[in-house]
């Protein structure tokens, strides 16, 4: 499958990268001399390239093309006709102006899958508004329930809306391609950062809709599971989740206090929520007596969910992530490019990267010559006119 990635920043490039990880041929179309907006996001940089850009653009070939001009639109039209999917992230009005909206693309190629990733979708009263991950998190409700009870709302520490929207777009694209392979029909996929981020809160929104109980910020200490939070130990903090009666019993047996699990006042999650404050106080008193690694080793043996609170450098050094292929170094052009994989395995294998994130326009001539059969003279003319 061939995918034209006309998007910039994070969500669209991430969607296209996921499709590239699955084997698609990704043609990343960028503005001449400037490229993807994310190329300028830094520091930090690696050999002059933004590491944010590097994080969401592997397995792609870059072509520079100014399709705001008639000659560029002709080239883009030829590429659309030679592709299976097009990914765009411009607002609806801009898509129409540049002739990359769904109607224009289907006028050229009726089977193409048109994927639009915008802040609010291409239809609706907010469709003309601009958006970033920060804005989407605010609309979704996630910021209002993140942070300490007596503190301000907090953004998640990563571009969650972008990454979720990118994942949604890739998933919808695969489903659309599957249907197209059976029916021959093209499809229009409309992804909204705000809606992807809001979907992420389904387990908070549905309980509110059914009960009118409004969730509030609690510093991560309010959960439908009675014991599900951070605890201090003798040295470092840890997480602990006692999500079922059996786990509850195993925990107290493991720490040498099995009688606590048998108390009638604690024999269901609902009762444990009712008496949560006293339970938390008791657990915290016990965990403070030993260091974190002691508890993680002990609880791991009896299958009680618990873990460390890693810094990013600790995540990067975690051997298990490297062994499973989630974190890896891509050797390319005499340099080492750090990458985070897709996080899932197929037939026991993690994805194997084919190409490092491309230099701006590195494959322009190759793509124009091999895919739409332009001559060297045609390519030279486009370069002279600053179309490529």
**pLDDT in tens for each of the 388 residues of the chain?**
999 999 999 999 999 999 999 999 999 999 999 999 999 999 999 999 999 999 999 999 999 999 999 999 999 999 999 999 999 999 999 999 999 999 999 999 999 999 999 999 999 999 988 899 999 999 999 999 999 888 999 999 999 999 999 999 999 999 999 999 999 999 999 999 999 999 999 999 999 999 999 988 888 777 889 999 999 999 999 999 999 999 999 999 999 999 999 999 999 999 999 999 999 999 999 999 999 999 999 999 999 999 999 999 999 999 999 999 999 999 877 889 999 999 988 899 888 888 999 999 999 999 999 999 999 999 999 999 999 9
Beta partners for residue 231, in sequence order: 238
Q: What are phi and psi of 62, to 5 degrees?
A: -100, 135
Half-sphere exposure of 271 (CA within 13 A, CB side): 11
CA separation for the pair 262, 303 (Å, rounded): 19
Q: What is the pLDDT of residue 222?
A: 75
For the packed helices 376-384 and 70-81, what is the interaxial angle rounded to 10 degrees? Answer: 140
Q: pTM higher than 0.85, yes or no?
A: yes
CA separation for the pair 194, 164 (Å, rounded): 10
CA separation for the pair 206, 223 (Å, rounded): 14
CA separation for the pair 280, 252 (Å, rounded): 13
Beta partners for residue 306, in sequence order: 240
Beta partners for residue 239, in sequence order: 230, 307
Q: What is the pLDDT of residue 334?
A: 81
Q: Is 150 among the residues known to form the active site? A: no
**279 contacts 226 by C-beta, under 8 angstroms:** yes
Annotated catalytic residue within 162, 168, 222, 323: 162
Three-state SS at 39: helix
All domains in the chain, ordered by first residue: 2-200+358-384 (3.40.50.10540), 227-309 (3.30.1540.10)
Length of the chain: 388
CA separation for the pair 240, 301 (Å, rounded): 14
Q: What is the pLDDT of residue 365?
A: 97
Q: What is the pLDDT of residue 269?
A: 93
CA separation for the pair 307, 237 (Å, rounded): 9
CA 254, distance to chain mean position in Å, is 37
Start-to-end C-alpha separation, the chain: 24
CA separation for the pair 186, 188 (Å, rounded): 7
How far are the Cα atoms of 127, 186, 263, 294 from residue 306, in angstroms, in the given order?
A: 43, 46, 23, 12
Helices (H), the chain: 11-21, 51-55, 70-81, 92-97, 102-108, 133-140, 160-183, 193-199, 202-211, 245-254, 258-261, 269-274, 276-287, 292-301, 312-317, 319-323, 364-370, 376-384
Q: What are phi and psi of 37, to 5 degrees?
A: -50, -35
Other CB atoms within a 10 A radius of the CB of residue 111 amount to 15
């Amino acid at each position: 499958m061939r995918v034209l990635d006309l998007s910039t920043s994070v969500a669209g490039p991430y969607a296209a990268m996921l499709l590239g990880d699955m084997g698609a041929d990704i043609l990343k179309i960028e503005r001449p001399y400037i490229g993807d907006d994310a190329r300028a996001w830094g520091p930090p940089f690696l050999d002059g390239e933004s590491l944010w850009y590097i994080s969401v653009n592997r397995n792609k070939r870059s072509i520079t093309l100014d399709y705001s001009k008639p000659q560029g639109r002709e080239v883009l039209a030829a590429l659309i006709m030679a592709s299976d999917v097009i990914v765009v992230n411009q607002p609806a009005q801009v898509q129409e102006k540049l002739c990359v909206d769904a109607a224009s693309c289907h006028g050229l190629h009726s089977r193409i899958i048109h994927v639009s990733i915008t802040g609010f979708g291409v239809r609706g009263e907010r469709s003309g508004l601009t958006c970033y991950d920060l804005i989407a998190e605010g609309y979704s409700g996630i910021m209002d329930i993140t942070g300490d009870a007596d503190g301000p709302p907090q953004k998640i520490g990563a571009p969650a809306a972008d990454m979720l929207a990118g994942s949604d777009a890739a998933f919808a694209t695969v489903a659309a391609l599957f249907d197209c392979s059976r029916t021959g029909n093209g499809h229009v996929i409309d992804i909204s950062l705000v809606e992807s981020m809001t979907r992420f809160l389904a387990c908070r929104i549905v309980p509110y809709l059914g009960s009118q109980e409004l969730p509030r910020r609690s510093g991560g200490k309010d959960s439908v599971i009675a014991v599900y939070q951070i605890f201090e130990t003798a040295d470092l903090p840890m997480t602990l989740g006692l999500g079922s009666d059996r786990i509850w019993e195993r925990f107290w047996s493991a720490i040498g206090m099995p009688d606590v699990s048998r108390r009638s006042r604690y024999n269901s999650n609902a009762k444990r929520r009712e008496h949560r404050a006293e339970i938390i106080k008791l657990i915290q008193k016990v965990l403070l007596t030993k260091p974190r690694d002691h508890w993680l080793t002990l609880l791991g043996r009896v299958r009680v969910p618990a873990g460390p609170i890693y810094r990013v450098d600790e995540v990067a050094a975690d051997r298990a992530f490297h062994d499973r292929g989630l974190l890896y170094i891509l050797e390319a052009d005499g340099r080492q490019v750090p990458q985070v994989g897709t996080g899932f395995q197929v037939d026991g294998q993690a994805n194997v990267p084919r190409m490092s994130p491309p230099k701006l326009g590195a494959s322009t001539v190759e793509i124009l010559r091999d895919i739409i059969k332009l001559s060297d003279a045609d390519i030279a003319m486009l370069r002279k006119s600053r179309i490529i």
